[in-house]
Structure 1
Amino acid sequence: MQLLMTAMSVSEKIRTKGIEIGERTSHLPLSFRLGEDQWVVIFRFGVVVTVGLSDKERNDILSELEPFIDEPDTSIETESLFIQTGSNEDKFEGDYVRVTELTRQHVLTMADILAKSVMLGRYEAAMSEVFQQIEPLALRLRSGVGKTRTYRELVSTIGSALLIQHTMVGGVEVNEKPEILWEHPELERLYLKLEDEFEIIERSKALERKLKLVTDTTEKQLGLQHNAHSLRVEWYIVILIIVEIMLTLYEMFIKHV
Structure 2
Amino acid sequence: MPVINMPALRPTGLPEALVMPLPGRGDQIDMRAHLLGTRIDMRALAGFGDPELVELGGSCAFVFRYGAVVLVGATSEEEARILAQVAPHAVDPPTSPEIETARVELRDDGDETVSADGRIRLREATPERLLLAATVLARSVVLARDEMRIEDAFDRIEPLLVDMREHGRAHLPIRQIMRQIGSVLSAQHRVVGRARIGEKPDLLWEHPELDRLYGRLEAEYELGDRTRTIERKLEMLGDSAEWLLDLVQDKRSLRLELSVVALIAFEVAIGLYEIAARWPH
TM-score by length of 2: 0.84
- Contact 1:154 1:222 (C-alpha < 8 Å) held by counterparts: yes
Superposition deviation, residue 66 in structure 1: 3.2
TM-score by length of 1: 0.91
Query: Which of 140, 150, 163 is equivalent to 2:186?
Result: 163
Q: Structure 1's 219 and 22: CA in aligned 2 closer, same or farther, altered over 3 A?
A: closer
Correspondence list, 1:34-183, <5 A: 36-88=57-109, 89-94=111-116, 95-183=118-206
Q: Structure 1's 140 and 256: CA in aligned 2 closer, same or farther, altered over 3 A?
A: same
- Contact 1:9 1:46 (C-alpha < 8 Å) held by counterparts: yes
Superposition deviation, residue 91 in structure 1: 2.1
Superposition deviation, residue 20 in structure 1: 2.8
User: Does residue 266 of structure 2 align to residue 240 of structure 1?
Assistant: no
Give the 3-state SS of the residue equivalent to 1:193 in structure 2: helix
Give the 3-state SS of the residue equivalent to 1:119 in structure 2: helix
Give the 3-state SS of the residue equivalent to 1:76 in structure 2: coil
User: Does residue 51 of structure 2 align to residue 16 of structure 1?
Assistant: no
Q: Structure 1's 242 and 136: CA in aligned 2 closer, same or farther, altered over 3 A?
A: same
Give the 3-state SS of the residue equivalent to 1:75 in structure 2: coil
- Contact 2:39 2:66 (C-alpha < 8 Å) held by counterparts: yes
Q: Deviations over 1:57-94 (max 9, x none)?
A: 11111112233233433322111121111331422222
Structure 1 stretch 104-113 or stretch 238-247: which is displaced more? 238-247
Q: Structure 1's 254 and 107: CA in aligned 2 closer, same or farther, altered over 3 A?
A: same
- Any gaps of 5 or more consecutive residues in structure 1? none
Which of the pair is proportionally richer in strand?
Answer: 1
Give the 3-state SS of the residue equivalent to 1:17 in structure 2: helix
Q: Distance in 2 between matches of 1:123 and 1:72?
A: 13
Superposition deviation, residue 246 in structure 1: 2.1
- Any gaps of 5 or more consecutive residues in structure 2? 1-26
Q: Distance in 2 between matches of 1:119 and 1:241?
A: 56
- Contact 1:141 1:221 (C-alpha < 8 Å) held by counterparts: no
Percent identity among equivalent residues? Answer: 33
Q: Distance in 2 between matches of 1:102 and 1:25?
A: 12
Match of 2:13 in 1: none
- Contact 2:42 2:89 (C-alpha < 8 Å) held by counterparts: yes
Q: Structure 1's 251 and 161: CA in aligned 2 closer, same or farther, altered over 3 A?
A: same
- Contact 2:164 2:170 (C-alpha < 8 Å) held by counterparts: no
Q: Deviations over 1:140-195 (max 9, x none)?
A: 23345354220011101110110110111110001000011111111111111111
- Contact 1:87 1:98 (C-alpha < 8 Å) held by counterparts: no
Q: Distance in 2 between matches of 1:133 and 1:164?
A: 16
Q: Distance in 2 between matches of 1:160 and 1:70?
A: 16
Aligned CA RMSD, in angstroms, stands at 1.9
Q: Distance in 1 between matches of 2:88 and 2:274?
A: 75
